[in-house]
Amino acid sequence: MSSEATHIQQQTLTVPHETHVEIHHDHHHETFLTKYVFSQDHKTIAKQFLITGMFWALIGGLFSVIFRLQLGFPEAKFPWMEILLGEWAKGGQLQAEAYYALVTMHGTVLVFFVLTAGLSGTFANFLIPLQVGARDMASPFLNMLSYWFFFTASIVMLSSLFVQTGPFSGGWTAYPPLSALGEASPGSKVGMDLWLISMSLFVVSSLLGGLNYIATILNMRTKGMSMTRLPLTIWALFFTAVLGVLSFPVLFSGFILLIFDRHFGTSFYLSDIYINGQALPNEGGSAILYQHLFWFLGHPEVYIILLPAMGMASEILSVNSRKPIFGYMAMVGSLFAITILAFLVWAHHMFVTGLNPFLGAFFVLLTLLIAVPSAIKVFNWLTTLWKGNIRFTPGMLFAMGFVSLFISGGLTGIFLGNSSLDIHLHDTYFVVAHFHIVMGVASMFGMFAGIYHWYPKMYSRYLNNTLGYIHFWVTMIGAYLIFWPMHYEGLAGMPRRYYKFDIWESFKHFGTLNQFISIVSIIVFLAQILFLVNFFYSIWKGRKVTTQNPWGANTLEWTTPITPGHGNWSGEIPEVHRWAYDYGKDGKEFITQVTPVDDSESKH
């Protein structure tokens, strides 16, 4: 009796508007605008992030197809390209300035708008309240703002594509002086200003989101949901948010200094520059300072992208193996270790900038240290599969694909993190292959796994399975065909960000391979369109979900109604009695977190 009373008390304490939600639902009429546009429901905001992210993935992917056509077929003429890009593809041939603009935008868009906002924005919003047992985020209003800052950032970035001097074209890392001087490149004129404005808005969005995620996870867990009972998705999203909150402001400071250098005559990054027949007045700045500030975010950013994918893969592997995740505490510990180390390795991007070799040695050590928690995670995932009873849903296949790609791309990181090897491999296609596999494709796979797995909860319908399987196999095979041979180009020293290679005696023998890679990447791109068709078709026409818990999963989101309203649970928020991974325990297929612990249960 008394425990029930304290339960209600605690609920009202943590979620003050809990009871309102019930009442509101009956008579409060939501307009289209408040329900779908300026929604404060975390589930709707998650979908907004997802669909905006998908829009950007389509744009970013299309850009890569266009510049891959240039790399694979530098002599060919594509009249349709001129129709699409105008001056940028005079006579059907992509111009160098357009090539660099597309490469830069591809990187910026995919790293920030797709794999940061689209991935952690979507799943942090969707899963945190549902899996910790909360009605909504700590501040639904800030959450809404977070999306609209992202949306504004998107508009500004999109508009930069249409300015006369073109969007920024100096690479997604935007190193000054190239990014600071309009004289150095047409893309560094107004395009760069728009890039900086857009990215600053993006930083605001990600901070608003991140603070909200942290506050929700720490303060709004339902009764019984101790931190060590949280599903690994939530742990991963928690560390992701911590990384973002601590490192994005540093990037922002780097941007502020860059804006000052561009417009207010300061010399933070500029010194000794003679350009366009003129010596600039700046003296005493350090171009390397920007790289420190940039990579202080830039490296954690890699984990901001990767951790949510790790968390979701852990959850999905466990659910579909019908087995608990192996070594839950080790998984949390390794996430924590990765988070800490992520802040201490940024200078491994700068081994060849003239960094003090003694200092570099520490960064080598700390960088290779990351391989230890990564290895723990991989072996734990493998042991989770061992002696399971595995169901290959499309989500499960993508989660396994994630593990495979994470292994492949992670191992090449051991080459690059070692400074003496990095001297040779830095800024070659080896790096391109490495980070596309481990950060790009692997995280994309984590995202796809999440979408296939939680789609029934998002839209109360299933995605088409056959299309899902086709999507998986084409993408999986294609990803390896594209990026595996690319390592060999890197081993020949072929530099990245080259518009063409015809004048280079050392690199021109890769013509056929480049063609092959380009063709495969177009096929993989088309497979993604198939996924998009599946996604949007299934929102309205997909097979309906008829059971509350279609995957037989333990976590709280499957205790909500099939179509949860704003507030998630129609009655009280359920109480949690156990961790999320009691699969196959005592001969039971699964035991949800809300099932009270039986006295006869075995202990582990």
Partner 1 sequence: MSTTTYLVIAAAVLVFIVIFQIAKASEYVSVLKGEDHSRKQNNRINGFMLLGFMILGFIGVWYCNKLLYKTTLFPQGSASVEGEKIDEMFMITTAVTGIIFVITQFLLFYFAWKYQEKEGQKAFFFPHNNKLELIWTVIPAIFLTVLVVFGLKFWFRITSDAPKGALEVEIVGKQFGWIMRYPGKDKNFGRTYFRVISDENNNSLGQVWENNDSLRLTADPANYDDVVTTTTMYVVKDRAVKLIINSRDVIHDVGLNHFRLKMDAVPGIPTTLWFTPKYTTKEMKERTGNPDFVYEISCDQMCGNGHYSMRGIVEVVTQEEFDVWMAKQKPNYYVAKPEKDPSAAPAVADTTAKPAAIAAVVKK
Closer to partner 1 by CB, 86 or 91: give it: 91
Instruction: Assess 536 for contact with partner 1 (CB under 8 A).
Output: no
Q: Is 450 in contact with 123 (CB distance < 8 Å)?
A: yes
User: Which of residues 19, 34, 152, 404 is near partner 1 by CB under 8 A?
Assistant: 404
State the nearest-atom distance from the C-beta of 549 to partner 1, in Å.
15
DSSP 28: P
Closest CA to 482 of 539, 408, 550: 408
Instruction: Assess 519 for contact with partner 1 (CB under 8 A).
Output: no
3-state secondary structure of 287: helix
Instruction: Assess 238 for contact with partner 1 (CB under 8 A).
Output: no
Q: Which positions from 43 to 82 touch partner 1 by CB under 8 A, shown as an x/- string?
A: ----------------------------------xxxx--
Closest CA to 160 of 202, 193, 201, 191: 191
Classify the C-alpha dihedral 13-16-18-20 as positive or negative.
positive
Q: Which residues, 90 to 129, sit near partner 1 by CB under 8 A? A: 96-97, 100
Closer to partner 1 by CB, 152 or 267: give it: 267
Given the DSSP bridges, would you call strands 278-279 and 274-275 parallel, antiparallel or unpaired?
antiparallel
Measured distance CA(489)–CA(179) in Å, rounded: 28
> Which residues touch 84 (CB under 8 Å, ≥6 apart)?
none
Measured distance CA(309)–CA(315) in Å, rounded: 10
Instruction: Assess 597 for contact with partner 1 (CB under 8 A).
Output: no
Range in contact with partner 1 (rule: CB under 8 A) among 35-43, 122-130, 219-227, 389-397:
389-397
State the nearest-atom distance from the C-beta of 336 to partner 1, in Å.
14
Closer to partner 1 by CB, 28 or 541: give it: 541
CA gyration radius for the chain? 25
> Which residues touch 329 (CB under 8 Å, ≥6 apart)?
228
Instruction: Assess 539 for contact with partner 1 (CB under 8 A).
Output: no
DSSP 12: H
Instruction: Assess 549 for contact with partner 1 (CB under 8 A).
Output: no
Q: Which residues, 274 to 313, sit near partner 1 by CB under 8 A? A: 274-277, 279, 283-288
Measured distance CA(21)–CA(182) in Å, rounded: 54
User: Which of residues 37, 84, 423, 597 is near partner 1 by CB under 8 A?
Assistant: 423
State the nearest-atom distance from the C-beta of 285 to partner 1, in Å.
7
Instruction: Assess 38 for contact with partner 1 (CB under 8 A).
Output: no
State the nearest-atom distance from the C-beta of 161 to partner 1, in Å.
17
Please write down the HEC assignment for all residues of 109-121: HHHHHHHHHHHHH
User: Which of residues 112, 195, 239, 510 is near partner 1 by CB under 8 A?
Assistant: 510
Closest CA to 447 of 110, 149, 42: 110
Measured distance CA(45)–CA(52) in Å, rounded: 10
User: Which of residues 469, 539, 552, 565 is near partner 1 by CB under 8 A?
Assistant: 469
Range in contact with partner 1 (rule: CB under 8 A) among 47-55, 300-308, 525-533, 565-573:
525-533
Closer to partner 1 by CB, 136 or 582: give it: 582
Instruction: Assess 441 for contact with partner 1 (CB under 8 A).
Output: no
Instruction: Assess 407 for contact with partner 1 (CB under 8 A).
Output: yes
State the nearest-atom distance from the C-beta of 162 to partner 1, in Å.
19
Range in contact with partner 1 (rule: CB under 8 A) among 157-165, 264-272, 552-560, 568-576:
264-272
User: Which of residues 36, 141, 162, 473 is near partner 1 by CB under 8 A?
Assistant: 473
Closer to partner 1 by CB, 163 or 470: give it: 470
Q: What angle do CA 566, 570, 572 make, to 5 degrees?
A: 115
Q: What backbone phi and psi angles, to 5 degrees, belong to 108?
A: -60, -50
Measured distance CA(572)–CA(153) in Å, rounded: 38
Instruction: Assess 397 for contact with partner 1 (CB under 8 A).
Output: yes
